[in-house]
Amino acid sequence: MSRHAYIDLPDGRRLDYEIRSSAKTRSLRLKMTAREGLTVIVPKGINERRVVELVSGKQDWIAAKLNQFDEVRHLLANKASVRPEAFGLPALAESWQVEYRTTRGRTVGARTDQQSRILVYGAVTDDERCKAALRRWLTRRAKETLIPWLGSLVAENGLRFSRVIIKNQRTRWGSCSANDVISLNAKLLFLSPDLVRYVLMHELCHTLERNHTNRFWTLLRQFEPQTDLLHGRMRDAWKQVPAWAHPVQTGREGV
């Protein structure tokens, strides 16, 4: 026997979900897939109101899963990407031309050749290696710019962090650990400056409030009055990232 309910998420989305009773389970269990959405498996006899309350407590997890599914659908749609001849980094108001030059060696590297030009060199007939080299360059550029940017926000607002890690991630723009280590996605450079600042402030506020509670959002709004507007814009921010910038496999790429 199954029933249906819905949950209103913090970003304004409403998600319908199915409640399934099972004699084999002793505790509430959430199952979420891109195809079937959210299914809540509960012990027989549990009060439906109690189920709704427990699911409401998982809002952040559910919203994060939905964002991951959106990102995966985007990646699948752009599976066959081409190596770029040029690209822009709106966060820094930069435009870059890319030159490919064959040199001896089986590997491929990328370096800043001169102002506004990147030289990709080596076995450049391999498009996948060229794109991987550009992603490593992107990570280095993000380290050069995002870490000082975060530091300036700390100085302006009296916040703190212990360390910064720059990665090329598929589904997360940033995170903050219990030890105040902030992780930032190198692909933030493809976003507009106001969105980048929002993400940086978001993670800095997590050094004071770990979870997405009402207290967290109140705190963030104190530092960023446009929080609600920017939060909504972040839902489609991944569309601004070119397909070649996504790593082929999940995980960190070498620098």
Tell me: the pLDDT tens digits for 88-112? 999 999 999 999 999 988 899 999 9
pLDDT reading at 44 higher than 50:
yes
Residues of the chain with pLDDT > 70, as a percent, come to 90
Question: Going by DSSP bridges, is the β-strand pair 117-122/163-167 parallel, antiparallel, or unpaired?
Answer: unpaired
Q: What is the pLDDT of residue 59?
A: 85
pLDDT reading at 252 higher than 50:
no
Q: What is the pLDDT of residue 55?
A: 86
* Rounded mean pLDDT, 62-81: 65
The values of phi and psi at residue 131, to 5°, are -65, -35
Contact, 18 vs 41, CB < 8 A?
no
DSSP letter assigned to residue 190: G
- What's the CA gap between 186 and 111, in Å, rounded? 16
The residues, ordered by sequence, that sit 6+ positions from 82 with a Cβ below 8 Å of its Cβ are 127, 244
Q: What is the pLDDT of residue 221?
A: 95
pLDDT reading at 254 higher than 50:
no
**Average pLDDT over all residues of the chain:** 86
Amino acid identity, position 172: R
Higher pLDDT, 96 or 65: 96
Q: pLDDT by residue (tens digit) across 17-40?
A: 888 888 888 888 888 876 667 888
Of 131, 135, 115, give the one whose Cα is nearest residue 123: 131
3-class secondary-structure state, position 189: helix
The region of weakest confidence among 80-84, 111-115, 142-146, 182-186 is 80-84
* Rounded mean pLDDT, 211-223: 91
- What's the CA gap between 69 and 243, in Å, rounded? 16
Label residue 46 by pLDDT band (50, 70, 90). confident
Q: pLDDT by residue (tens digit) across 118-150?
A: 999 999 999 999 999 999 999 999 999 999 999
Amino acid identity, position 114: Q
* Rounded mean pLDDT, 36-47: 83
Q: What is the pLDDT of residue 77?
A: 47
Tokens, residue 19: 């409640």
Q: What is the pLDDT of residue 35?
A: 60
Tokens, residue 105: 């060696």
Q: What is the pLDDT of residue 249?
A: 54
Tokens, residue 229: 């507007």
Q: What is the pLDDT of residue 73?
A: 54
Label residue 6 by pLDDT band (50, 70, 90). confident
The region of weakest confidence among 62-71, 96-105, 112-121, 160-169 is 62-71
In the chain, at which residue ranges do the beta strands (DSSP E only) sit? 2-8, 14-22, 29-33, 37-43, 86-89, 94-102, 108-114, 117-122, 163-167, 174-176, 181-185
